[in-house]
């Protein structure tokens, strides 16, 4: 199974930039890159911050950008989105209780997409109702299960970012722990950083994002930090016994150098580039 994981695309008004970068152009560039190399992926997941300000025009723009893709696209909500406006544009995303939560079948198990949005905050929320829904879906899901969400469910130990992580992280952890043997991976975004880790033994990961990049400033106490790093998305390869996630830095514009053959017989001081 091959999946594409995009996050934090932050679409905005034409001509506006974020961090000196054009998020609309960069998302389109990322899609073109992925479709050139990975059009055989069976699904694309975009884990939130679809719009920078939750404007209706951004969601209409997103519809147009996704309209010609050859695979199903599964959208999630992030803290920069507006739930009502998003659901007006994509009513099929609405789940029980008005949350942007739903399941999607995959060739290898089931994807569960979660709503961690809360009003007037950048932090993540996972209320009792959402937890009950997830628990019920995990009970009945055909394994393996792949969880997708926007906010990071574990701290990354960068103080300003941890102020806006999933604040109901304990509730989330208590919900997934009994199902740890069924859940193969948790995919999230929000941090604009490449991250890997685990929760109750469940692996988790996040790519950088398709526009502006974060920076892990472990000395920061109040402000988030950014850096001029390449824009990225992830491509995920999964089998019944393995999972591998590549962060693809499609925004890199430097030289790609040939180093030499991987065959041992070809390794010598004359041909290997050093």
Q: What is the rounded average pLDDT of the residues 248-255?
A: 97
Q: What is the pLDDT of residues 37-77, one digit of tens each?
A: 999 999 999 999 999 999 999 999 999 999 999 999 999 99
What pTM, to 2 d.p., does this model score? Answer: 0.97
Confidence class for position 253, pLDDT limits 50, 70, 90: very high
In whole angstroms, give the CA distance from residue 46 to residue 65.
13
3-class DSSP string for the chain: CEEEEECCCCECCCCCCECCECHHHHHHHHHHHHHHHHCCCCEEEEECCCECCCCHHHHHHHHHHHCCCCCCEEEECCCCCCHHHHHHHCHHHCCHHHCCCEEEEECCEEEEECCCCCCCCCCECCCHHHHHHHHHHHHHCCCCEEEECCCCCCCCCCHHHHCCCECCHHHHHHHHHHHCCCEEEEECCCCCCCEEEEECCEEEEECCCCCCEECCCCCCCCCCCEECCCCCEEEEEEECCEEEEEEECCCCCCCCCCCCCCCHHHCCCCCCCC
Q: Is the bond into 144 cis (omega within 30 degrees of 0)?
A: yes
Q: Residue 266 burial by CB count (10 A; 0-12/13-18/19+): exposed, middle or buried?
A: exposed
Q: Specify the range with the lowest mean pLDDT, choosing from 51-55, 185-189, 264-268.
A: 264-268
Q: Whose CA is closest to 154, among 118, 204, 192?
A: 204
Q: Name the CATH superfamily, with its identifier, for domain 2-254.
A: Metallo-dependent phosphatases (3.60.21.10)
Q: How far apart are alpha carbons 111 and 6 in whole angstroms?
A: 15
Give mean pLDDT, residues 243-272: 90
Q: What's the rounded mean pLDDT across residues 153-166?
A: 98
């Amino acid at each position: 199974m091959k999946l594409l994981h995009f996050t934090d695309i932050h679409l905005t008004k034409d001509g506006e930039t974020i961090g000196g970068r054009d998020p609309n152009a960069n998302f389109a560039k990322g899609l073109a890159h992925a479709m050139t190399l990975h059009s055989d992926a069976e699904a694309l997941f975009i884990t939130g911050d679809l719009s920078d300000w939750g404007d209706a025009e951004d969601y209409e723009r997103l519809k147009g950008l996704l309209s010609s893709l050859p695979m199903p696209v599964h959208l999630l909500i992030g803290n920069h989105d507006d739930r009502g406006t998003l659901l007006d544009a994509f009513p099929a995303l609405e789940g029980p209780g008005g949350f942007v939560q739903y399941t999607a079948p995959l060739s290898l198990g089931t994807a569960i997409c979660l709503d961690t949005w809360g009003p007037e905050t950048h932090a993540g929320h996972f209320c009792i109702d959402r937890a009950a829904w997830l628990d019920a879906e995990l009970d009945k899901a055909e394994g393996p299960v792949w969880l997708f969400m926007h906010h990071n469910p574990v701290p990354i130990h960068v103080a300003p970012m941890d102020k806006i992580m999933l604040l109901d992280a304990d509730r989330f952890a208590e919900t997934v722990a009994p199902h740890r043997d069924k859940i193969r991976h948790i995919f999230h975004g929000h941090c604009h950083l490449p991250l890997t880790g685990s929760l109750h033994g469940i692996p988790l990961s996040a790519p950088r994002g398709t526009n502006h990049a974060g920076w892990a400033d472990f000395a920061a106490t109040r402000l988030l930090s950014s850096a001029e790093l390449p824009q990225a998305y992830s491509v995920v390869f999964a089998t019944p016994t393995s999972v591998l996630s590549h962060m693809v830095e499609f925004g890199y514009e430097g030289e790609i150098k040939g180093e030499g053959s991987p065959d041992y017989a070809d390794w010598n001081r004359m041909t290997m580039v050093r």
